A and B are shown apart, each in its own frame.
Chain A
Amino acid sequence: MASTIRVRAIANGDTTEVQALIQHPMDSGFVKDAQGAVIPAHFIQQLTFEHNGKAVFTADWGPAVAKDPYVKFGFKGASKGDELKVSWVDNKGASDSTTAKIQ
């Protein structure tokens, strides 16, 4: 199965700009389906980016993060060709991870 994670990490001098898009319903638990039943909350709680085994960015998310969440940040100290590991875990215990090459 295709990864749920899209990452774009581009090194520009000393700074690497990272954008990620993750496929996830991010159900808030406040919305009802067509039959009027509440769709249970289902959302990513934690998202981590690691470079050389060090966490460079950690997100704690609640259900108010939009569906198919997106995040953008930047960090220093990486160079082209380095690997960036991205992983998430949701409130139901599901998880996914991927490794992207910094471009």
Chain B
Amino acid sequence: MRRLVLAASLLIAAAAPAPAASEADFKTAYAAAEAAENEAGSLRNQWITTETTLKAARKQADAGDFDAATATAKEAEALAKASIFQATSEKDRWKDAEIH
């Protein structure tokens, strides 16, 4: 099952568009990713992968590669959203796994 989650992340990442991105595009994408990650944080369900992807995006932006940085930021946003989704769907579902 975790393969599927990972595959899903890949799909999302692959959906990131290719055309030249500007610094503004990056900033928008990054802000969206950060907002999603903060939301995951409020649910105490952040993923390490999201954190490292955000960091990678910043690094690419610092190097002036806004195409890559924007794509990476979108990937981070998708990861953060997947973690939010996980937290939401686990809210009650954990009870199903409990030993009775």
A and B touching (Cβ–Cβ under 8 A): no
Q: Which residues of A approach B to under 8 Å, CB–CB?
A: none
